[in-house]
Amino acid sequence: MTRSTRRAFFPLLFVGGFVVLGTGGAASADTPQPQEQPPDESVLGTVDVTGAAAVPLPKLAVMPIVTTNEADTTLQLVVKKDLDLSGQFEVVSDDAAPSGLYLHDSPVDVAAWRSKGIAILVRVLANRLPSGKIELLGAAYFVGRGAAPVFEHRIETDAAQVRSSSHRMTDALLGALSGRPGGFASHMVYSGRVGRNRQIFGIDADGFNLHTESPTGDTSIAPAFGPKGETYYALSHDYMPFKLVRGASATPVPITLPGSIFGVAFSPDHSKIAISVAKDGTSHIHVGNADRTGLQAISTVPLANHPVFGPGGKMAYVGGGTAGQRVYIDGKPISPAGFNASAPAFCDTPNGLLVVFTVGVGAGADLVSTDVRGGNITRITQNQGANSYPACSPDGRLLAFFSTRKSDKGPGLYVVPLASLGHARRISSELGESLRWEALPPVEGAKPAESAKAP
C-alpha cells in the first residue's frame, strides 16, 4: 500500500472538537472557521475579574527554613507554589518574614508574624528517618488565635516520592484551611506537536516533570487517563487509521469497532469508556465497559467527537459538522447557537457543577462556562489570543488551558482559579491539544497520612 493511499484513511482529523479536513487542514480551535455573519458576542458576556480581585485575600506565609536538606527545599518550594496557584491566599515572599534564625527546632513566634500583617502561617519540614524514609511535617497557624497550630499533618514517603508527597501535603493543608482538600497531587496529559507529528506528553499540576507518554515518529492524539492511571490514546503509524493504544510503549488495546479512533474518555471511576470512531465520512461516540464490551452508539449528531464523562454518569461531546459545531450533554446542545464550540470539560466546583468549553470568537478563541443545561453562561477569557482545551483540577477549583496570549508571560499552559479569574498563572511554555487532568493514583504500600487538629 502506498503512502498516498494510506492518507485516505483519515480525511477528517478532529482537534479538540473542531474538524480538520485532510492531514494538512487548518480549521481548529486555535483558528476557528470563518462565518459569513459573526454571532453576537454579547451573549458570552465579559470577563469579570474585579469581583474576586476587590476582596482582599488573606495573607499567608510559608515559614522559611535554613537547611541543606534537599527534601526540605523541595517541600518548601512545592507547597509555596501550590498555595499561590490555588488563588485563595496572598502568598508573601520570604522577605516578609520577621528577623530571626529559622531552623528545624526554632520556635514559632506567632506575635512576630502577626505584626507583619500575616493572617495564616504554614510551617513545613522534612526529616530523614532511621528507616531511610522521609518524614514530611506540616502545620498551619491562624496567627490571631494564639500560638498553637490549628492543623498538623504527617506524611511518610520514599525519597523518590518527596515531590508528589509535597503536593499531597498542600492538599491536606488546603482541606484544613478551606474545608475542601486541594487537587495538586495530580497530573495532566495532552497531545503536542513534534515536527509534523503529534506526541503525547505528561506534566505535573504545577508544570514540573514534563515527559513523553508515547513513541516518537508516530502521530498520537486524544489522550485520556484509564484504569490504574495509565494513559490511553489514539495512534496512527505511517498514515494508517488511528488505533487505541496505552502506555509509553503504545500497547495495542483491542476494539471491535471498525474505523479510525479520534477520541477516548473514561468515567471518573474508570469503569466505563467512551470512544469516538470515524468511518464513512462521519463519526459516532460509543459507550461501554472499560474492557470495551457492551459498546453502544450514543451520539445523535454528525461528526461527534471529544467525549468526556462528568459526575453522575453525564456525558458531554462535540458534534454538528463543518457548518457549526456545538457542545452536547446527554444528547442536548448546551453551547450558544452560532458559535463553533469545542473541547468540553466538567468542573465539579465548590459552588456546583460547571461545563467549560472553547468558542471561536473572531480570529481567536475564548473559554466560557455554563451549567449542565447551558444556562448561566460566564466568560472566562477575553481578548487574549486563542484559549483552548480546558481541563479542571480534581478538586474543581482550578482550570488549566492552553493560550496563545501575548500578555502575562506569553503563550503556554495556564492555570486559573474559577473563583478568581484575575489570578491566572502560566505553569509551562508548552502548547498542545486535548488536555486532561486527573488525580495521581495512590502510592502502593504507602502508609496513610496522619492529621491532627489542635484543641
Inside any domain, residue 449: no
Whole-angstrom Cα distance, residue 400 to residue 427?
Answer: 9
List the grid coordinates of 188.
Answer: 495532566
Q: Tell me, what's the pLDDT at 323?
A: 66
Instruction: Read off the pLDDT of residues 308-346 as tens digits, 9 standing for 90 and up.
Output: 999 988 999 999 966 689 999 988 999 999 899 999 999
List the grid coordinates of 153.
Answer: 499533618
Whole-angstrom Cα distance, residue 136 to residue 283?
Answer: 50
The neighbour count for residue 209, using CB atoms within 10 Å, is 12
Going by the DSSP 8-state scheme, the letter that residue 396 receives in this structure is S
Give the residue-averaged pLDDT of 275-285.
94
Give the residue-averaged pLDDT of 244-252.
97
Q: Tell me, what's the pLDDT at 448?
A: 64
Which has the closest alpha carbon to 363: 424, 404, 334? 404
Same domain, 63 and 201: no
Same domain, 178 and 219: no
Same domain, 223 and 363: yes
Inside any domain, residue 5: no
Instruction: Read off the pLDDT of residues 204-245 as tens digits, 9 standing for 90 and up.
Output: 999 999 999 999 999 999 999 999 999 999 999 988 999 999
Going by pLDDT thresholds of 50, 70 and 90, the confidence category of residue 10 is very low
CB 425 within 8 A of CB 416: yes
Give the residue-averaged pLDDT of 170-198.
96
Going by pLDDT thresholds of 50, 70 and 90, the confidence category of residue 12 is very low
CB 368 within 8 A of CB 377: yes
Which has the closest alpha carbon to 238: 258, 218, 222? 218
SS3 call for 416: strand
Instruction: Read off the pLDDT of residues 14-40 as tens digits, 9 standing for 90 and up.
Output: 343 344 433 333 334 344 444 457 787
pLDDT beyond 90 at 192: yes
CB 402 within 8 A of CB 412: yes
Give the bridge partners for 285, in sequence order: 276
- Total domains, the chain: 2
Residue 123, domain extent: 55-182
Same domain, 352 and 410: yes
Give the residue-averaged pLDDT of 398-423.
94
Q: Going by DSSP bridges, is the β-strand pair 59-62/120-128 parallel, antiparallel, or unpaired?
A: parallel
CB contact set of 71 (below 8 Å; sequence gap of 6+): 126, 128, 134, 136, 159, 162
Going by pLDDT thresholds of 50, 70 and 90, the confidence category of residue 289 is very high
Q: Tell me, what's the pLDDT at 322?
A: 65
CATH assignment of the domain containing 101: 3.40.50.10070
Instruction: Read off the pLDDT of residues 114-142 as tens digits, 9 standing for 90 and up.
Output: 999 999 999 999 999 999 999 999 999 99
| Residue where a domain stops, chosen among 132, 156, 182 | 182
pLDDT beyond 80 at 101: yes
Inside any domain, residue 454: no
Q: Tell me, what's the pLDDT at 38?
A: 74
Going from the C-alpha of 100 to that of each of 74, 95, 107, 179, 192, the distances in angstroms are: 22, 12, 10, 32, 47
Phi, psi of 370, rounded to the nearest 5 degrees: -140, 175
Percent of the chain with pLDDT over 90: 76
Give the residue-averaged pLDDT of 259-271.
96
List the grid coordinates of 56.
Answer: 482582599
Which has the closest alpha carbon to 245: 236, 235, 258, 237? 235
Q: Tell me, what's the pLDDT at 449?
A: 72
CATH assignment of the domain containing 286: 2.120.10.30
Instruction: Read off the pLDDT of residues 175-187 as tens digits, 9 standing for 90 and up.
Output: 999 999 999 999 9
Same domain, 112 and 152: yes
Whole-angstrom Cα distance, residue 39 to residue 409?
Answer: 30
Mean pLDDT for all residues in the chain: 88
pLDDT beyond 70 at 7: no
Q: Tell me, what's the pLDDT at 118?
A: 97
Half-sphere exposure of 433 (CA within 13 A, CB side): 26
CB 413 within 8 A of CB 427: yes
Same domain, 173 and 216: no
Give the bridge partners for 275, in sequence order: 264, 286
Helices and strands, number each (H, E), in the chain: 5, 32
